[in-house]
Chain A
């Protein structure tokens, strides 16, 4: 079943000298339980795409549907993880996690147990009464992931969630995210500019070109799960990464 269906989606930004085309005729769909990564160089509009799907930015043309209904504004059945953890420092870890419950008025007491379960799932057991500024960057991002899961959304949107972390924490978080995903089987749209991260995590990688952003490739990643870091050394891993990198190089889009 399709969770996300995007058809001919375009986005224009008005500027002083005419409008800038950020996204052009994007078409794709995401099935239930699928982990889809969107990879592209900075400025290709991938964050714009995520904001449109999250309903916090209007689209210009085309349509985007979530479980069949048009996305016209923010919705309750979506969980978003941003590049920075965006935690409220005056709230404890637990209260940060319960934020969507509070906003949607779902009843705090009824969700306490779930929140605690999720916190232990992400490895933050015993930290529920701490404050965000007492945690490391990686731990803060785990809190943000927990918060995005707590209201049991149909879809998890992640906007370069590990982009601000150091390389080692990032690898660790990739493993953690895979474990969480295998356990919860959420549908995920994961935005990144790291090709290896995309291939490591995703069932499908959507490759985007910049200005105007459009999808130039849709790569199925057929590496068995759970994938360990060693998967990166498997003979089948490199062709995916090189293939995607080749697409960018052919277009002269990579700096390196």
Chain B
């Protein structure tokens, strides 16, 4: 009963804000190239999708983001594992990795475009570069976080280093890795869009750029709306995986509990 009422309230709030937005823009006669009314945004959305323009660019951006995410995450996880397991690699390379991490990666986008061209490749590389670090850092921390008692148990069983890795360290690191994936997914989208800003032939970021030149503000709003929905859906995908993988994690259980109360 309470959830029903909350759902109704939330829909009511949404509709009334849209209505207020529409009325304010009309009443004050805000020019469309400054702040378009929701009806104009909806119009642009319809125009974009009915001509097939948005689908094409959406597909492009999604592909870049997902490929970049997979590439960056895989590399980050792999390198993180190497760093966590090998003291020498950590000693000699980790300082540089940390240094590189503090660099705003999007500042590299112009270089990436010079190196990889205007095609899909440069956006994927840029997305991967940005998605790489959260996973690397979280993997390193996660693999090193196995507690002393559990290590002692494995040692008392005469477990080999490989067994300790597969049976204890890796599952133990999963909450950290999943948190890294969570961030990496959103980062990959940012990386892809920034690369498109710098130079690309297709994609929602490129679309925003060209709409900006044409002062098509309602068009930009409609693309922003699509981007936020894409971001939300990608994040949901990770959450679904996380829920399956981390069913045993206390923080995950708490979160589920909180969500249930919120609903």
Contact = CB atoms under 8 A, between A and B. Distances in A.
Interface residues of A, number: 23
B171 A74 contact: no
Interface string A126-138: 0000010100000
Interface string B145-169: 0000110111111110001000110
Nearest to B250: A133
A103 B158 contact: yes
Contacts of B157: 74, 76, 99-100, 103-104
A133 B248 contact: yes
Chain A binding surface SS class: loop
Contact of B248 (A55, A76, A89): A89
A75 interface: yes
A56 B171 contact: no
Contact of A86 (B150, B158, B171): B150
B249 interface: yes
Nearest to A100: B157
B241 to A, nearest CB: 15
A104 B157 CA distance: 8
A88 interface: yes
Interface stretch (A77-85, A112-120, A172-180, A192-200): A77-85
A102 B164 CA distance: 12
- Residue from the set B150, B157, B174, B253 with the largest chain A CB neighbour count within 10 Å: B157
Nearest to B152: A56
Contacts, number: 53
Contacts of A99: 157, 167
B149 A89 contact: no
11 contacts: A54-B156, A55-B158, A56-B152, A74-B157, A76-B158, A88-B168, A89-B248, A99-B167, A103-B159, A104-B157, A131-B248
Interface in A56-115: 56, 73-76, 78, 80, 82, 84, 86, 88-90, 99-100, 102-104
Interface of B: 149-150, 152-159, 163, 167-168, 171, 174, 248-250, 253
Contact of A88 (B150, B152, B163): B150
Nearest to A101: B157
Nearest to A75: B158
Interface of A: 51, 54-56, 73-76, 78, 80, 82, 84, 86, 88-90, 99-100, 102-104, 131, 133
A54 B153 CA distance: 10
Contacts of B154: 103
B113 to A, nearest CB: 43
Given A88-B168, A88-B171, A103 B163 contact: yes
Contacts of B153: 80, 82, 86
A54 B159 CA distance: 13
Q: Which 9 A-B pairs have the closest CB atoms?
A: A74-B158, A89-B248, A80-B156, A90-B248, A103-B157, A56-B155, A103-B159, A54-B156, A86-B149
B118 to A, nearest CB: 45
Contacts of A56: 152, 155-156
Contacts of B156: 54-56, 74, 78, 80
A131 to B, nearest CB: 6
Contacts of A73: 158
